[in-house]
């Protein structure tokens, strides 16, 4: 896997050149109890197969720090009757080390609903933990860091949705799942980036309110004859890419296959060879098997996918999500130790939000992935 030279698209959210994880040693000491963890022969044996699997994407020098945490988390989750759900944007040591299920945000919540475990640890951001709680109200849902938010979800409130309804009476509200429970509760139906066109067209109307991602909305509008009333929300990771940067990628890597998430700006999508959701990108790599590929999305995902495709070179344009990166192995361990922080959604909000989610799933269960 190759990181691109230092450009606007190869910097972390603070604008610094990307490195694999320069703070890994400090991260293992965020909880005093982790200072007692050591890379013992027992831990080495317990994690040996996993290490062979991930050594392509995790530097050797980091493994003695990650392995004791991974072993401790996997033991404790069994004791707690807990499952760990891991989003595609988590770092490889989390994605491959402790996940019981990994994937897109809605898929995580749906798996959590089906699983017999009494506790869900959500390795993602706040709206994902809320969605898991909405679908599994009887279960304990933990989010290892409550500050793990989302710029897109924060761009709109329930009051904003009510105001849009007043401005456009009669227009149904289609809401991207990357939103808070309060916003979902004010909506008629939810959608994902994979099924947004299908959801919009299922309503059988000429005009809908589509919130909150303006770029996803523009992409959907280009695929349907329905008029979309858009909100000015955007993902701070995806909106930083540009078509010019993609052309630069191609110049540095002739023949590279470029895939982009529909949350990216239109000039990025126009330069891409494939546009699709996170899950669709993974499926596409398996079908096309390009020699070199660039995934124009949160850059941690490339490292996770690369493990499954050792013959594909992943050129990594690094825009990191600062919120996703708040979730670390020490915080996951601490969350299981203390059974906190727990996520709660008021019953009335959860009931109305669940209705919007269920109406989406009724449209097309097989396509409901973000």
Lowest mean pLDDT among 4-8, 173-177, 268-272, 301-305: 4-8
| Tokens 């590279």 -> residue | 256
Condensed to tens digits (0 to 9), the pLDDT of residues 251-285 reads: 999 999 999 999 999 999 999 999 999 999 999 99
The reply to whether 153-234+347-365 and 238-316 are identical in fold is: yes
Domain ranges of the chain: 20-149+324-338, 153-234+347-365, 238-316
Mention every residue, 6+ apart, whose C-beta is less than 8 A from residue 353. 134, 181, 182, 184, 185, 187, 345
Condensed to tens digits (0 to 9), the pLDDT of residues 207-255 reads: 999 999 999 999 999 999 999 999 999 999 999 999 999 998 899 999 9
pLDDT of residue 131: 96
48 has a pLDDT exceeding 90: yes
188 has a pLDDT exceeding 50: yes
| Tokens 């996770």 -> residue | 304
Query: What mean pLDDT is predicted for residues 21-36?
Result: 45
CATH topology of domain 153-234+347-365: Rossmann fold (3.40.50)
Query: What mean pLDDT is predicted for residues 362-368?
Result: 62
pLDDT of residue 365: 55
114 has a pLDDT exceeding 50: yes
DSSP per-residue codes, 205-238: -SEEEEESBHHHHHHHHTT-SSEEEE--B--TTG
Residues 131 and 357: their CA atoms lie apart, in Å, by 9
4 has a pLDDT exceeding 50: no
238-316 belongs to which homologous superfamily? NadA-like (3.40.50.10800)
- Could you confirm whether domain 20-149+324-338 is CATH 2.60.40.740? no
Lowest mean pLDDT among 12-16, 59-63, 88-92, 350-354: 12-16
pLDDT of residue 9: 35
Cα 232–Cα 168–Cα 177 angle in degrees, nearest 5: 50
């Amino acid at each position: 896997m190759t990181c691109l030279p230092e450009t606007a698209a190869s910097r972390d959210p603070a604008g610094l050149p990307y490195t694999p994880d320069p703070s890994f040693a400090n991260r293992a000491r965020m909880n005093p109890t982790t200072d007692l963890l050591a890379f013992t022969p027992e831990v080495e044996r317990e994690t040996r197969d996993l290490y062979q699997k991930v050594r392509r994407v995790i530097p050797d020098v980091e493994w003695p720090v990650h392995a004791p945490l991974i072993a401790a988390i996997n033991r404790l989750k069994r004791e707690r009757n807990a499952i760990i759900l891991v989003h595609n944007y988590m770092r490889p040591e989390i994605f491959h080390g402790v996940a019981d299920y990994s994937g897109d945000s809605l898929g995580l919540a749906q798996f959590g609903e089906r699983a017999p475990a009494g506790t869900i640890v959500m390795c993602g951001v706040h709206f994902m933990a809320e969605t898991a709680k909405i679908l599994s109200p009887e279960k304990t849902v933990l989010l290892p860091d409550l500050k793990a938010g989302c710029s897109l979800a924060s761009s709109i409130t329930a009051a904003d949705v009510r105001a849009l309804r007043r401005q456009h009476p009669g227009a149904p509200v289609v809401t991207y799942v990357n939103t808070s429970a309060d916003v979902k509760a004010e909506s008629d139906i939810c959608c994902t980036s994979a099924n947004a066109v299908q959801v919009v067209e299922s309503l059988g109307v000429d005009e809908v309110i589509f919130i909150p991602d303006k770029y996803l909305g523009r992409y959907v509008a280009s695929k349907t004859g329905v008029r979309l009333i858009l909100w000015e929300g955007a993902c701070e990771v995806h909106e930083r890419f540009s078509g010019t940067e993609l052309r630069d990628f191609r110049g540095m890597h002739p023949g590279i296959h470029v895939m982009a998430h529909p949350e990216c700006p239109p000039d990025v999508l126009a330069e891409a060879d494939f546009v699709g959701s996170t899950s669709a990108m993974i499926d596409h790599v398996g079908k096309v098997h390009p020699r070199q590929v660039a995934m124009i999305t949160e850059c941690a995902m490339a490292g996770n996918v690369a493990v499954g495709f050792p013959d594909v070179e992943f050129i990594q344009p690094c825009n990191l999500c600062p919120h996703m990166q708040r979730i670390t192995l020490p915080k996951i361990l601490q969350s299981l130790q203390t059974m906190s922080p727990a996520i709660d959604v008021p019953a009335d909000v959860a009931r109305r939000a669940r209705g919007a989610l269920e109406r989406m799933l009724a449209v097309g269960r097989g396509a409901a992935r973000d």
